[in-house]
Structure 1
C-alpha cells in the first residue's frame, strides 16, 4: 500500500503538468461567427475524465499509465479536430458574399423595372448565386442559423404551392394542357429561385452585412428617374417604349413622339409600385415606429401626381395597417391576419357580393371609378367558375390559356383576359381549395413571423405585407415570372433586416 501511494506521488507532478492545458478553450472569433457556445459532447467528456483519472496514477502499472497517456493525446487531438476553428478567409468570405447578394437586390430593386420590368428575373439569379456561394465557406454559420417556425411554415407553403402549380396541367382540360405546361415552364424557375433565395436569406451569415446604405442609393435613383420623367413630359417613358419596340434606329425619336399616353403609362405603374414598396422598406430600416406611416402618407400624395392608381391603393392600405398596429400592437397584427385569411377562404362567395356593392357605391364616370368597376366585374366573373373544379382548380393560368371571358363585358371590353389581376380569385380558379388553403398557411406564416420581429419593426413590416397583398390582389398574374421575382427579393431584404434587428 505504501509503495503504491509512493508511486502515485512520484507520477502526480508529471501528470498534472501534462494536464495543464485542460479542456479546449473557446475561440472568440469562432464564437462570434456561430453566435453560440461550442462544447464537446458528453461522450467525449466522459472519455476525457477516464483518461485523466488514469494519467493521475490510478493505474496498476507503468504500461497502463503510458497507454492512458496515449489515449488522452488521441482524445485531445480528436476534440481539436471536431472543434476546428474556421480560417479567417472563410470567416470573412461568407458575409462578403451575402453582402453582395444584398447589394444587388437593394441597389437595383427600386428602379430596375423602369428600363425593363423583365430584368427582375435576371436580377434574382446573381442574388441567389451569391447566397449559395456564401454557403460554401460559411457552412457552420448556415447550420447554426435556424429560422423561426413561422418563417419555415411560410417557405414550406410556398414550396407546396409551387409543386401544386407545376403538377396542375396534369388534371387540367386536355385542350388547354399545352398552354399550361408552357406557362408552368416559365413560372417554375421564378418560384424555385424565390424559395432558394428566402431560405438562404434566413440562414446566411450576416456579420457586417449592411442594408440601409444600398437601399438608400437604390431609392434615390428611383426618385431621380421619376422626377426626370415627369419634368420631361414623359420622354423617358416614351424612349423606353420606342427602344423596346424598334431598337436604336434613326426613327427612334419619331416613334417616341407618336405614342399616346395609353401606350406607355402602364410601364410607369409597375415601376412606381415597386419603388413604393422599396421606399416603405427604407422607412422600416430607420428603426423608428412612426417613420413608415409618415413615408406612406407622402407616397400617397406623390401617387396622386402620377398615373399609378394601384400605388395609391397600396399606400393607403399600408398606411391603415401601420396605424392600426401602432395603436393596437400585437392585437392589430392578429386582426389584420384574421381579415386576410377570411378574405382568402371566402373569395368565391365574397367577390360577387363585392361586385354588387361597387355597382351601388361607384356610379360616376371618372377613370378611377371605371377601373374599380372593371376589376370588380372581372373578379366576380372568374369567381363564378370556381365551383366547376372546386378542390384542385382548373390548372395554372387557366383563364389566360382559355381565352374566353365569362363576364358580361359591361366595363371590361376585350373578349379574353390576359391577367386576372387578383391573387385571391386566381389561386381559387387555378389551384382550387388546396391552393387557397396553402395560401392561408403562407400568409399566416408571414404575419406570425411579423409578431416575432422587433416591436419597432412590426408597423412597417405589417404595412409591407398588406401592400404586397394589395399589389398581388389588383395587378397582373400571380404566375408572371418577373413580378414574382420582385416580391421574392423584397421579402428576402425584409428577412435580412429582421435578422439584423431581432428575430425572424
Structure 2
C-alpha cells in the first residue's frame, strides 16, 4: 500500500507543478508521511549510528534561524522556521526512502514520475497557449478581464526546470543513449519561449555543469563549489558595486527587470552592513523598510527597494543570518555537493546539473525560504535519488 501511494505521489509532481506549484509543500508533507510509513514497513527506517556532519550543520542553521526570530522584524519569522523544519525533515525521510528502493520499486516510481511530468508539461503548454484557462477558472477570473498572469508560468517553469534533471536521469535509465540529455536540451529550448528568464538561466547553467561532469565529475564539482564559495564571499561587495553602477547610469543597456535586480542588490548589500554577524533575523527581508523618500525606480509590483526578498540567495542569507548563517549554509551546501561522489557514474552529471541549476535560480529569482520553492528542490533531489535506484533497461 505504501509503495503504491509513493508511486502515485511521484506521478502527481508534474500536474502539481503545472497547476498549483504553491501546493508543493502539501506534497512534501504527504510524501514525508508515506515515506516514513514505507521505511517502517520495510524495516529500513531504523536509527543510524552516529550523527553526520551534514545533520549537525543543518541543525545548527535551524537553531540559528529559530534564535533569530527574537530580533527579526518579520511577523512570519516563526512560520518560516517551521517551514524550514518540515522541509529539512522531508529531505531526510524522503531521501532515505528513495535510496532504500530496490530496482523494481524504483522502476515503478520513476515510471509514474515520467508519466506525471509528461502530463504536467502538456497541461502547462495548453495553459500557456490559451492564456491560462484553468487558472482563470480556479481563481474565478473572467475570460474577458485582462489579468497579469506572469507569475503563474514563471513558478511552473522554475519547478519544472528543477524536475527536468530527475526526469532526464529517469529517461536515461529507461531508454539510455542520448535520451536524458536530449530531454534537457528540449526543456532549455522550450524555456526560451516563456517569460521566466531565471528558468532558462538555470537550465543553461545546469547544462554547463552537466557537460563538464560527463568529462570529469571531479572538475565539475570543483567548478560549482568554486562558484558557490565565490558567491558568498563576493555577494556584499558586488552588491554594493551594482548599486553604484546603477546610480552612475552605466546600466541603461540592461532591460528594466535586470536594472531592478541591481537596485535591490545594492540596497540589500548596504543593509547587510548594519548587522554583519548574525543578520537582521530570519525572513527579515520582507519586513525591512527603506528610509523616508527611498523608493524603487524600476519596481512594477511595489515601490519598495526590498520587495519581500533580495532576489539573490547569497545576499538573503547575509542579510537575514549574517556571517554565522552564511558560513553554515556554505558548509551544508558543500557537503551536499561532495555527497554527489557517492552516486553512480550515470547519475553524477544529472545531480551536478541540478545543483548548478538550483544555484543559478536561487540567486536571480525567488526567496530562499519560500515553502513551495524549497519543496521544489526537495522534490527534484529526492526523485533523482529514486531514479538512480532504477534498473537499467538498456
Scaled by the length of structure 2, what TM-score is found? Answer: 0.86
User: What does 1:204-223 align with in structure 2 at a 5 Å threshold?
Assistant: 204=97, 205-207=100-102, 208-210=104-106, 211-223=109-121
Match of 1:272 among 157, 161, 181: 157
Question: Which one has the largest radius of gyration?
Answer: 1
Query: Within the alignment, does 1:121 sit opposite 2:25 as a pair?
Result: yes
Q: Which aligned pairs between 1:225-304 and structure 2 lie closer than 5 A?
A: 225-232=123-130, 234-236=131-133, 239-241=134-136, 243-244=138-139, 247=140, 255-260=142-147, 263-285=148-170, 286-287=172-173, 291-304=179-192
For structure 2, the residue ranges without an aligned partner over 5 or more in a row are none
Q: Against the structure 1 CA distance between its residues 455 and 362, is the aligned structure 2 distance closer, same or farther, given a 3 Å change threshold? A: farther
RMSD: 2.9
Q: Is the 8 A contact 1:322 1:460 kept in 2?
A: yes
| 1:170 maps to 2:73 | no
Query: Against the structure 1 CA distance between its residues 157 and 103, is the aligned structure 2 distance closer, same or farther, given a 3 Å change threshold?
Result: farther
- In the alignment, the residues of structure 1 paired with residue 291 and residue 8 of structure 2 have an alpha-carbon distance, to the nearest angstrom, of 43
Q: Is 1:157 matched up with 2:61?
A: no
Checking the alignment, whether the CA contact within 8 Å between 2:268 and 2:319 is kept in structure 1 is yes
Q: 1:289 to 1:143 in 2, by over 3 A?
A: farther
1:388 maps to 2:388? no
Paired residues, number: 379
Q: Contact between 1:375 and 1:421, CA under 8 Å: does it hold in 2?
A: yes
CA offsets 1:348-384 (integer angstroms, 9 cap, x no match): 113233556788885436xxx2222211221121011
Deviation per CA, 1:390-409: give whole Å up to 9, x if none.
Answer: 11100112121123379773
Point out which structure has higher relative CO (alpha carbons under 8 A, 6+ apart). 2
- Structure 2 counterpart of 1:487: 377
| Structure 2 residue corresponding to 1:399, chosen from 279, 282, 285 | 285
Q: Deviations over 1:440-497 (max 9, x none)?
A: 0121012101122112111111110111122222222222222222222222222333
Residue 77 of structure 1: aligned partner: none
Distance 2:309 2:358 in 1: 17
* Partner deviation per Cα, 1:406-459 (whole Å, 9 max, x = no partner): 977333363321232221111100000111011101210121011221121111
3-state DSSP of counterpart to 2:21: coil
**Taking structure 1 as reference, are residues 101 and 362 closer, same or farther at Cα in structure 2, changes over 3 Å only?**
farther
Give a deviation string over 1:232-286, Cα, whole Å, max 9, x none. 2x142xx414532xx4xxxx5xx232124xx112111101111122222111221
Corresponding residue for residue 253 of structure 2: 364
Work out whether residues 289 and 457 of structure 1, in 8 Å CA contact, stay in contact via their aligned partners in 2.
no
Corresponding residue for 1:142?
45
Counterpart position of 2:88: 195
**CA displacement 1:37-94 (0-9 Å, x = unmatched):** xxxxxxxxxxxxxxxxxxxxxxxxxxxxxxxxxxxxxxxxxxxxxxxxxxxxxxxxxx
Provide the residue aligned with 2:11 in structure 1. 107
State the partner residue of 1:83.
Answer: none
TM-score, length basis structure 1 = 0.68
Q: Distance in 1 between matches of 2:113 and 2:182?
A: 18
Deviation at 1:138, TM superposition (A): 3.1
Deviation at 1:158, TM superposition (A): 2.9
Paired residues of 2:281 and 2:321 also in contact (CA < 8 A): yes
Q: Is the 8 A contact 1:370 1:411 kept in 2?
A: yes
